[in-house]
A and B are shown apart, each in its own frame.
Chain A
Amino acid sequence: MEKKTRWLIKFLVLVTMLGFARFSSAADYPTKPIECLMPMGPGAVSAIGVRIITDATAKILGKPILQVSALGPGGIVAARRCAMAKPDGYTILASNSAIHGTALCTRKDIGYENSDFEFLAFWAFQDMGLTTRPGAPFKTLEEFIAYAKENRVKAGLMGVGTGGHMCFELLKLEIPGLKIDYVPAVSSPDMRMLLLGDNIDVAILMGGSGGPTDEFTQAIESGSRVIAVSSKERLKAFPNVPSYSEKGLNVVLSAWTGIVAPKGIPKEVSEKLKNALYKALEDPQVIQGVEKLGNRYLFMKSEEFTKYVKEYEDLIRRIVKEAKIPPI
């Protein structure tokens, strides 16, 4: 063969191979481990819940999913890293309502917007229950409201701009005239100690899935009462606790968790990733594990999740504006 023809053939083969190479990267996804950014440290209870899900997903995808902690208040450091990461399907974020709602709307200059993310799968709510201290002089929501209009009530707060804070503020917006002083608590065990020790009158605890490990159950066992819950309907596990909605108060606000990724992932890769997540989240073992850790399992696929995030962001922005919460 002529030298030129040989070169032409080599060139064509090379180009074809390169073409196949790009093609194969999507079809072979994943070819290396996936990084799951975590807004909490590896020892946190919520991290364990995420691990249950990512382990199951990794098994389906065939490559490990490694947890990488990126700590920062409200999860903003992890969120920013995810928003700026390459959208190739190898970075995901174990996200939550603080990142896409409360922290987003109360902090300035965090470096990301909700539009920077693709919302893959929603997996649980963590409902907020208004809990009284063991000897409190009010036993129902109505009694609490009446009491709080006359006396200053000490309420435990996990920090400005948290879900609990929003819930209290929403309650104050719905019922003007409540006198609530916020006593800061630095962790959930700290909050429960304050409640048990009669140092605060009410606190918002997270839980609602029932079972002995649920914060509501533990509080009730110590003599507290859960007098209202922030889910739309009454919780299956706590049928005696009314929801704010049924009492005519438009307070529907629960914390939640989901898995997200940076926007712009190629369609085939994103489909594969999503399907693996959906399959993992429909696995009964995963559901059981998640619920044991105190979450109210609810599975939403990508489209529904994206819609919900918009609603949630709008709700939080409204609360921040009407309650005039100063930016952090």
Chain B
Amino acid sequence: MDAFLNLLLGFKLLLQPINVLYCFIGVTLGTLIGVLPGIGPVATLSMLIPFTMRVDPLTSMIMLAGVYYGAMYGGSTTSILVNIPGEAASVVTCLDGYQMARNGRAGPALGMSAIGSFIGGTFGVIVLMILALPLARLAIRLGPPERFAIVAMGFTLVVYLGGRSPLKGAAMAALGLVLSCLGTDMVSGKIRFVSSVPLLYEGIDVGAMVMGLFGISEVLLNMEKSSEEREVFETSVKNLLPSLQDWKRSSLPIARGSIIGFLLGLIPGGGAILASFTSYAVEKRVSKHPEQFGKGAIEGVAGPETANNAAIAGAFVPLFSLGIPPNVVMAVLMASLMLHGVAPGPQFISRNPDFFFGIVASMYMGNVMLLILNLPLIGIWVKILKIPYRILFPLILLFCVIGSYSLNNRAFDIAVMIAFGIMGYIMKKLDYPAAPLVFAFVLGNMFEYTFRQTMVMGGHDLLFFLKRPIALTALLISALLIASTLFGYFWKFRMRVADSGILGDD
């Protein structure tokens, strides 16, 4: 009851014209930067902070938060249309969303992604509103052993992230782990492998990698095809909205995605990327027709898109209730709050209920605004697909080049993108999935440092995990998942050997 009354207070604060205006500006700007490959929420937010200094803290926070979750809505657009993830979290949407677009179903993909984002975001906000403080207590209990175990569990799911062969998926994940080692080790400060290349001291930029692996490689592949094959893709765009069948198939993925997304958003270091990848892997694992994934299964779009928006609401939990930002974007948001003299921390919600509920109310409104904004835009986006490819692909390349430069204001990232583009092209030809590589690359650092933290905490004894029940459970689940994957793999191998008759007919 209390929460409801506070929420009404929040809405009252929200409905002042300036707050509504800033909310609208925020979500629109967010959608735009989400759509454009390269520039992301972090850079945009830090550029906006000076502009928010002249308005009061609530208004500025409303706008900045709007930019963040707006970016999650927009990021899937280019993933679906041209296989270029606007955000690292939108990578998984490329897997099935782009295939749906190639089958002429770009409209339903975009629509389901917008709707899933809306449901995920709204669900997340509701949970944030009601359970912020108890959830914060849960978040504190997730120390290094637990976070290591959760990431490890994610790694065991990663083999499901694309392609038919779990072995190839595992190989790409291993490569991703190796690539994540390039650069400075966060713990010892040593520079690994690249001491003669200062441009790589901070490691490979994930944005450049992703634009290359998915976007550039796709352009290279398409250029090989004859123009007739491409014509089919361009002209046959069927319905613009999801069908009843789509709804039925997506409802459970959306439900699961909301929960998975929110919980993973809570974890420091997790966030939208972990949420969307995990949701995809879970959906593929529990699906009755996993072979459809990678060919245009709508569950592969609905689940992850819901998860990444729910993760944003989840990320606000540690920020508001503990004063600890769980990822870089939240850190920038917190900096803007600090500039206004507002300090998130344990007493934050109880001391500033109007602020907290004002933001919560704005997130409801922002999600609605985004849905209203994005659905009609589908018609326009779909028309882009009708542009002849010979005109479209130079534009795609242009946006990618500008986008990769805008990451760090240096041309080196363009070279990185092109290198990964060529690599992605070769990988596609040889049917090696790119998604596990990206997942392992993004989470490799966290995988490693949480383990090292755990080892120091536990006196360098692996048995330390036995003392941490949550971590132990997650690790056991991981072991079971690996075992079942291996079992399935070898079972199929045995079946194939038996069918081929090598072993004789007795």
Residues in chain A within 8 A of chain B (CB atoms)? 41-45, 47-48, 51, 55, 68-69, 71-74, 77, 80, 106-107, 154, 159-162, 181-187, 189-190, 192-194, 196-200, 211-213, 217-218, 221-222, 289, 292-294, 328
Q: Which of B104-112, B342-350, B489-497 contacts A (4 or more CB under 8 A)?
A: B342-350
The 7 lowest CB-CB distance pairs between A and B, nearest first, are A212-B343, A213-B338, A184-B187, A199-B143, A43-B46, A72-B201, A73-B184
Contact string against A for B residues 144-171, beta-carbon threshold 8 Å, 1 for contact and 0 otherwise: 1000000000000000000000000000
Q: Which single member of B45, B186, B341 contacts A213 (CB below 8 Å)?
A: B341
New A-B contacts (16) at CB < 8 Å, excluding given A71-B408, A292-B339: A42-B46, A43-B331, A45-B331, A77-B198, A160-B188, A160-B189, A187-B331, A189-B324, A190-B269, A192-B323, A193-B139, A197-B143, A212-B341, A221-B323, A221-B347, A293-B338
Asked if residues A193 and B324 are in contact (CB atoms below 8 Å), the reply is: yes
Q: Which residues of B contact A289 (CB under 8 A)?
A: 339
7 contacting pairs across A/B (C-beta < 8 A): A44-B331, A45-B338, A192-B324, A194-B453, A213-B341, A222-B322, A289-B339
Complex CA–CA separation, A222 to B133 (angstroms): 13
The answer to whether residues A48 and B335 also contact, given A69-B409, A73-B189, A194-B144 and a CB cut-off of 8 A, is yes
Does residue B231 face the partner (Cβ distance < 8 Å to A)?
no
State how many angstroms separate the Cβ of B196 from the closest Cβ of chain A: 10
Contact string against A for B residues 317-344, beta-carbon threshold 8 Å, 1 for contact and 0 otherwise: 0100011111011011011011101110
Complex CA–CA separation, A135 to B187 (angstroms): 26
Nearest CB in chain A to that of B328: its residue: A43
Asked if residues B343 and A45 are in contact (CB atoms below 8 Å), the reply is: no
Q: Which residues of A contact B453 (CB under 8 A)?
A: 183-185, 194, 199
Nearest CB in chain A to that of B198: its residue: A77
Q: Which single member of B49, B141, B335 contacts A197 (CB below 8 Å)?
A: B141
Does residue B140 face the partner (Cβ distance < 8 Å to A)?
yes
Nearest CB in chain B to that of A212: its residue: B343
Does residue B449 face the partner (Cβ distance < 8 Å to A)?
yes
Contact string against A for B residues 398-432, beta-carbon threshold 8 Å, 1 for contact and 0 otherwise: 00000000001100000000000000000000000
Complex CA–CA separation, A277 to B244 (angstroms): 65
Nearest CB in chain B to that of A200: its residue: B457
The answer to whether residues A221 and B346 also contact, given A189-B268, A328-B190 and a CB cut-off of 8 A, is yes
Complex CA–CA separation, A68 to B478 (angstroms): 43
State how many angstroms separate the Cβ of A185 from the closest Cβ of chain B: 8
Complex CA–CA separation, A87 to B330 (angstroms): 38
Does residue B50 face the partner (Cβ distance < 8 Å to A)?
yes
Does residue B220 face the partner (Cβ distance < 8 Å to A)?
no
State how many angstroms separate the Cβ of B152 from the closest Cβ of chain A: 18
Nearest CB in chain B to that of A77: its residue: B198
Complex CA–CA separation, A328 to B449 (angstroms): 18
Does residue B499 face the partner (Cβ distance < 8 Å to A)?
no
Q: Which residues of A contact B190 (CB under 8 A)?
A: 328
Q: Which residues of B contact A73 (CB under 8 A)?
A: 184, 189, 191, 201
Does residue B291 face the partner (Cβ distance < 8 Å to A)?
no
Complex CA–CA separation, A43 to B45 (angstroms): 8
State how many angstroms separate the Cβ of B264 from the closest Cβ of chain A: 16
Asked if residues B43 and A159 are in contact (CB atoms below 8 Å), the reply is: no
Contact string against A for B residues 226-267, beta-carbon threshold 8 Å, 1 for contact and 0 otherwise: 000000000000000000000000000000000000000000
Q: Which residues of B contact A71 (CB under 8 A)?
A: 201-202, 408
Nearest CB in chain A to that of B199: its residue: A77
The answer to whether residues A194 and B143 also contact, given A48-B335, A154-B457, A160-B188 and a CB cut-off of 8 A, is yes
Asked if residues A72 and B202 are in contact (CB atoms below 8 Å), the reply is: yes
Q: Which residues of A contact B295 (CB under 8 A)?
A: none
The answer to whether residues A196 and B187 also contact, given A48-B339, A293-B338 and a CB cut-off of 8 A, is no
Complex CA–CA separation, A217 to B347 (angstroms): 11
Q: Which residues of B contact A43 (CB under 8 A)?
A: 42-43, 45-46, 328-329, 331-332, 335
Asked if residues B50 and A51 are in contact (CB atoms below 8 Å), the reply is: yes
Asked if residues B452 and A189 are in contact (CB atoms below 8 Å), the reply is: no
Does residue B47 face the partner (Cβ distance < 8 Å to A)?
yes
Asked if residues A212 and B345 are in contact (CB atoms below 8 Å), the reply is: yes
Does residue B20 face the partner (Cβ distance < 8 Å to A)?
no
List which B362-381 residues lie within 8 A (CB) of chain A: none
Asked if residues B345 and A159 are in contact (CB atoms below 8 Å), the reply is: no
Complex CA–CA separation, A54 to B189 (angstroms): 29
Does residue B466 face the partner (Cβ distance < 8 Å to A)?
no
State how many angstroms separate the Cβ of A116 from the closest Cβ of chain B: 17
Contact string against A for B residues 39-66, beta-carbon threshold 8 Å, 1 for contact and 0 otherwise: 0001101110110000000000000000
Complex CA–CA separation, A160 to B324 (angstroms): 23
Does residue B482 face the partner (Cβ distance < 8 Å to A)?
no
Complex CA–CA separation, A213 to B331 (angstroms): 13
Asked if residues B187 and A159 are in contact (CB atoms below 8 Å), the reply is: yes
Q: Which residues of B contact A200 (CB under 8 A)?
A: 457
Does residue B142 face the partner (Cβ distance < 8 Å to A)?
yes
Complex CA–CA separation, A189 to B325 (angstroms): 6
The answer to whether residues A193 and B140 also contact, given A43-B331, A72-B198, A72-B202 and a CB cut-off of 8 A, is yes
Q: Which residues of A contact B326 (CB under 8 A)?
A: 189
Asked if residues B189 and A328 are in contact (CB atoms below 8 Å), the reply is: yes
Asked if residues B338 and A294 are in contact (CB atoms below 8 Å), the reply is: yes
Complex CA–CA separation, A32 to B184 (angstroms): 35
Q: Which residues of A contact B456 (CB under 8 A)?
A: 154, 181-184
List which B170-202 residues lie within 8 A (CB) of chain A: 184, 186-191, 198, 201-202
Nearest CB in chain B to that of A158: its residue: B186
Complex CA–CA separation, A197 to B140 (angstroms): 5
The answer to whether residues A218 and B343 also contact, given A159-B189, A184-B449 and a CB cut-off of 8 A, is yes
Q: Which residues of A contact B449 (CB under 8 A)?
A: 184, 186
Nearest CB in chain B to that of A214: its residue: B343
Q: Which residues of A contact B201 (CB under 8 A)?
A: 71-73, 77
State how many angstroms separate the Cβ of A164 from the closest Cβ of chain B: 12
State how many angstroms separate the Cβ of B155 from the closest Cβ of chain A: 19
Complex CA–CA separation, A57 to B335 (angstroms): 22
Complex CA–CA separation, A106 to B191 (angstroms): 13
Complex CA–CA separation, A184 to B31 (angstroms): 37
The answer to whether residues A211 and B322 also contact, given A43-B331, A184-B186 and a CB cut-off of 8 A, is no
Complex CA–CA separation, A193 to B141 (angstroms): 9
Contact string against A for B residues 262-289, beta-carbon threshold 8 Å, 1 for contact and 0 otherwise: 0000001100000000000000000000
Q: Which residues of A contact B43 (CB under 8 A)?
A: 42-43
Q: Which residues of B contact A217 (CB under 8 A)?
A: 343, 345
State how many angstroms separate the Cβ of A253 from the closest Cβ of chain B: 18
Contact string against A for B residues 443-458, beta-carbon threshold 8 Å, 1 for contact and 0 otherwise: 0010001001100110
Q: Which single member of B139, B141, B409, B452 contacts A184 (CB below 8 Å)?
A: B452
Q: Which single member of B139, B268, B323, B338 contacts A292 (CB below 8 Å)?
A: B338
Q: Which residues of A contact B337 (CB under 8 A)?
A: 213
Q: Which residues of A contact B408 (CB under 8 A)?
A: 69, 71
State how many angstroms separate the Cβ of B388 from the closest Cβ of chain A: 38
Q: Which residues of B contact A159 (CB under 8 A)?
A: 186-189
Q: Which residues of A contact B47 (CB under 8 A)?
A: 42
Q: Which residues of B contact A77 (CB under 8 A)?
A: 198, 201
State how many angstroms separate the Cβ of A221 from the closest Cβ of chain B: 5
State how many angstroms separate the Cβ of B386 from the closest Cβ of chain A: 38
Q: Which residues of A contact B188 (CB under 8 A)?
A: 159-160, 328
Asked if residues A211 and B189 are in contact (CB atoms below 8 Å), the reply is: no
Q: Which residues of B contact A197 (CB under 8 A)?
A: 140-143
Complex CA–CA separation, A328 to B188 (angstroms): 8
State how many angstroms separate the Cβ of A84 from the closest Cβ of chain B: 12
Nearest CB in chain B to that of A156: its residue: B453
